[in-house]
Amino acid sequence: MPNFKTRILANQEIAPGYWRMRIQAPGAVAACRPGQFLMFRVQLSLLPLLRRPFGIFRTGFQPSDVDGLPPVEYLEILYKVVGQGTAMMSELHQGDRVEILSPLGRGFDPGQPGREKILVGGGIGLVPLFMLAEQLVADSKVRLLMGGRTRDDIIAITEFERLGVETYTSTEDGSLGEQGLVTDVLEKKLDQVADAEVFACGPMPMLEAVHRICSRHGVPLQVSLEALMACGVGACLGCVVKGAGHSDENPRYLCTCKEGPVFRSEQLDWSRLEKTDSFCEGCKQ
Amino acid sequence: MKVSLAVEVAGIQMKNPVMPASGTFGYGEEYAPYIDLNNLGAIVTKGLSLRPKAGNPTPRITETVSGMLNAIGLQNVGVDAFIEHKMPFLRELNTPVIANFFGNTLDEYGEVARRLDAIPELAGVELNISCPNVKQGGIVFGTDPKAAFDAVNVVRKNLRKPLIVKLTPNVTDITEIARAAEDAGADALSCINTITGMAIDVRTRRPKIANRTGGLSGPAIRPVAVRMVHQVVQAVKIPVIGVGGISTAEDALEFLIAGASAVQVGTANFVDPDAMQKVIDGLERFCLEEGIGDIRTLIGSLEGQ
């Protein structure tokens, strides 16, 4: 299905500035793996020119509008309105035609069955963790640690809970859950849990802190990154990040779209990742 | 009515005049899941250097109005890895393959040319003397007629294959460089490469890409490219390949009518992996509608000169 024209099934604001879009996508359920992403063409005109990358939140089936027809297969994205592209997306309605390139990139490795799984989401970075949680709850205890600046940044928590995921929330202003950073919650959890694996997606400073904490506890970590990208298929080389062993003399860049967006933390050179880059879905778009 | 889209550029026979612009199509395999590569007039691969090149720090790209600014910095696998790992895929295609390349020094230009010349399945090469995003690797050779002559000359001495030279628009008079390349033995020219530009984040007051400046591409640059192709076509006898902001058949037709013998599609591939197929289909449709049996009759058909 890689590049296809389709239509929007629903597009709703779920929290101030946060939107959920359901897109008809035949074949999506079988094709998408947790952690993969899509490229969304906002308009068929030249503004904005480039497609926008979004983590795939979930796939599924909904009943057809027409009696007797089979259920309609869909995929869903959650996005935050932060720029021209996402603002235009929020103006789209059910039935509007859109163009999608999906699924793209490498997803999460589900890790060892039975081992406790801790998911860490920061704001809209929670998006790629949902399909992962759906997969992991089959054979592991799964906890979600979800952080945001305010309560408005805490989205879709009840959907994780419905899967049987134990959820913890923290906000920087204390308007929901514990006051503080989600990484403080992670630190405490890892002090209590002997054997766990961590999966994280969120802003770069959060991911760096998660990496430090997991390294200290000797816990395996996978992170989902997002970078500015033009093509999404490994051709433009616009979305690279510095890999482990990178040096000015021997540079080693990894392509976020093709070799990622999910990386094992030891694949990356954390000391040299661009601090100015923002990797969470929807940022700068 | 049967329409012929076939063209010939520098001795390279193409089933149609549409090929990707170097740097926007990887080594071909990246887009194989999305487009039938055998439908293209030719494939032009990512620019190669003698040794692998890592490219520039990030952020490397940013979007501008109807365009994008990039400073990838010629990241590539190097000519030897290209031969070992990329050619096996490319040699299976039923489409001419043109390898783009560059060097840091005249010796390197000569050496890469020699290695590429030894690949029998390569239909030709495209010499980059025009990348604006690295200190070495092109622009110094592309902005001075004497340096351009020397670069093309050293490549010509090491190359029997068809030689296309890609020109930069970042000069006062592109026809001077075009003539220098022709005099030094180029078989064809492609113009234009990206236009040096800059974008600033007004909140951080920093450049939006780490290299500060980058190459502007996309629909925004098309009128500049059409103008330059028109100028260059008047100035030289060798064929010219038009490139710069082409995303539809009508865009491509502008270049052909201005005198280009073929076209390259760049940024549009990122926006729509099917862009080149749509251009090819659109050219055929246009010829049918206009009663044109052979697309070559359109080349250089500009009226009112």
φ and ψ at A75, to 5 degrees?
-130, 155
Strands A72-80 and A18-24: antiparallel
Kindly list the domain boundaries of chain A, sorted by start residue.
3-104, 108-224, 227-272
Contact residues, chain A, for B65 at CB < 8 Å: 47
User: Residue B278, class by beta-carbon neighbours within 10 Å (0-12 exposed, 13-18 middle, 19+ buried)?
Assistant: middle
Name the minimum distance, in Å, from the CA of B182 to any CA of chain A: 30
Find out whether B33 and A2 touch, Cβ atoms under 8 Å: yes
One digit per residue, the tens of pLDDT, for chain A of length 285 reads: 589 999 999 999 999 999 999 999 999 999 999 999 999 999 888 889 999 999 999 999 999 988 899 999 999 999 999 988 999 999 999 999 999 999 999 999 999 999 999 999 999 999 999 999 999 999 999 999 999 999 999 999 999 999 999 999 999 999 999 999 999 999 999 999 878 999 999 999 999 999 999 999 999 999 999 888 999 999 999 999 999 988 777 778 999 999 999 999 999 999 866 554 443 333 333
**How many beta carbons lie within 10 A of that of residue B299, not counting itself?**
21
pLDDT digits (tens, 9 = 90+) for A158-172: 999 999 999 999 999
Those residues of chain B that have pLDDT short of 70 are 131-139
The SS3 of residue B234 is helix
Tell which of A47, A50, A226, A254 to mutate to test the B interface (max B CBs under 10 Å): A50
> Is B191 a known active-site residue?
no
Q: What is the pLDDT of residue B139?
A: 65
- Across A38-51, b (16+ Cβ under 10 Å) vs e yields bbbbbeeebebbbb
Give this complex's ipTM: 0.92
Q: Options 2.80.10.50, 3.40.50.80, 3.40.50.2300, 3.30.390.30; which CATH number does A108-224 get?
A: 3.40.50.80
Q: For residue B228, give the amino acid letter.
A: M
Q: Is A169 left (phi over 0), alpha (psi -120 to 50) or beta?
A: beta
Catalytic residue among B116, B131, B163, B279: B131
Helix extents (H) in chain B: 79-81, 87-90, 106-117, 139-142, 145-157, 174-183, 222-235, 249-258, 267-271, 275-290
Q: What is the pLDDT of residue A282?
A: 37
**Between chains, do A50 and B219 touch, taking CB under 8 Å as contact?**
no
Q: What is the pLDDT of residue B141?
A: 85
CA distances from B61 to A248, B3, B256 (A): 20, 39, 30
Name the minimum distance, in Å, from the CA of A40 to any CA of chain B: 10
HSE-CB of B52 using CA atoms within 13 angstroms: 11
B218 touching A (Cβ < 8 Å)? yes
CA angle B43-B243-A284, nearest 5°?
95
Name the minimum distance, in Å, from the CA of B20 to any CA of chain A: 12
What percent helix, strand, coil does chain A show, rounded to 5?
Answer: 20, 35, 45
Q: What is the pLDDT of residue A134?
A: 97
- Strands, DSSP E only, in A48-173? 52-55, 58-62, 72-80, 97-104, 116-122, 142-148, 166-171
CA distances from A237 to A106, A257, B242 (A): 16, 9, 24
**Between chains, do B272 and A99 touch, taking CB under 8 Å as contact?**
yes
CA distances from A245 to A180, A218, A255, B74, B167 (A): 33, 20, 15, 21, 36
**Between chains, do B59 and A228 touch, taking CB under 8 Å as contact?**
yes
Which of B215, B214, B278, B287 lies closest to B246, judged by CA?
B278
Q: For residue B118, give the amino acid letter.
A: A
Domain covering A3-104, topology? Elongation Factor Tu (Ef-tu); domain 3 (2.40.30)
Residue A74 to residue A63: CA distance in whole angstroms: 11
Asked if the domains at A3-104 and A227-272 fall in one CATH topology, the answer is no
Q: What is the pLDDT of residue A45?
A: 84
Residues 4-33 of B with CB under 8 A from A: 24-26, 30-31, 33
Q: What is the pLDDT of residue A2?
A: 86
Q: Which single residue is written with the structure tokens 């790209």?
A: B61
Domain covering A227-272, topology? Dihydroorotate dehydrogenase B (pyrk subunit); domain 3 (2.10.240)
Residue A39 to residue A233: CA distance in whole angstroms: 10
Tell which of A237, A273, A276, A278 to mutate to test the B interface (max B CBs under 10 Å): A237
CA distances from B184 to A171, B122, B163, B190, B238 (A): 66, 22, 11, 15, 12
Q: What is the pLDDT of residue B254?
A: 98
**Between chains, do A99 and B274 touch, taking CB under 8 Å as contact?**
no
Those residues whose C-beta lies under 8 Å from the C-beta of residue A226, and which sit 6 or more positions away, are A37, A53, A55, A256, A261, A279, A280, A281, A283
φ and ψ at B65, to 5 degrees?
-65, 120
Binding-site residues from annotation of A for FAD? 85-86
Residue A26 to residue B177: CA distance in whole angstroms: 52
**Between chains, do A236 and B72 touch, taking CB under 8 Å as contact?**
yes
